Amino acid sequence: MKLTRFVLAAAIAAACGSALAADPITQRQDVFKDYKKTFGTMGDMVKGKTPYDKAEFAKLAAHMEVISKQPWQYFTPGTDKGKTGAKAEIWSKGAEWKQEISKHEAATAELAKVAATGDLAAIKPAFGKVGQTCKSCHDTFRKPD
């Protein structure tokens, strides 16, 4: 039954939150695209480019905390080749890579906590700290555009 197979495939794709058989490079890049959108929207509020909305900001910060745990599983061996900005150092400097990830996850969790209070004066430095972890990791492990 073609239809049944289609429905099943759609259900699996929905459960995975991504297309079937997507390669790990695309999967991690998709998470980083979500990072860009989410963190960018938050940045606009922090900088006052858009009005600060406490509930919306807290929601975005909570989402950041969730996705901050997601890209790393897709850095599987051999995926330094192909259409990727990932440097081979990810695999040769594993300890340093893991450290960048844990700094990033900790800063993101802290930002979500502070965002829930709605105290913009405290949110600004917490936001900046997360941004530093993006930069710090990119400086070492991501190829320049």
Which residues carry a binding-site annotation? Answer: 134, 137-138
- Using the rule CB under 6 A, is 138 a contact of ligand HEC? yes
Are 68 and 108 spatial neighbours (Cβ–Cβ below 8 Å)? yes
CB of 54 or CB of 103, closer to ligand HEC:
103
For 86, which DSSP code?
B
Q: Which helix (H) or strand (E) holds 56?
A: helix 54-67
CB of 9 or CB of 82, closer to ligand HEC:
82
Window 3-32: residues binding ligand HEC (CB under 6 A): 25, 28-29, 32
- Using the rule CB under 6 A, is 58 a contact of ligand HEC? no
What is each CA distance from 137 to 65, 88, 98, 100, 144, in whole angstroms? 17, 13, 10, 6, 12
- Using the rule CB under 6 A, is 85 a contact of ligand HEC? yes
Residue 24: beta bridge partners?
none
Task: Report the nearest approach of ligand HEC to the CB of residue 137 (Å).
Answer: 3
- Using the rule CB under 6 A, is 86 a contact of ligand HEC? yes
- Using the rule CB under 6 A, is 127 a contact of ligand HEC? no
Window 93-122: residues binding ligand HEC (CB under 6 A): 100-101, 104
d(CA 31, CA 66): 11
Backbone angles phi, psi at 86, to 5 degrees: -80, 135
Nearest to 82 by CA among 36, 143, 18: 143
- Interface with ligand HEC (CB under 6 A): 25, 28-29, 32-33, 35-36, 39, 84-86, 100-101, 104, 130, 133-134, 137-138, 141-142
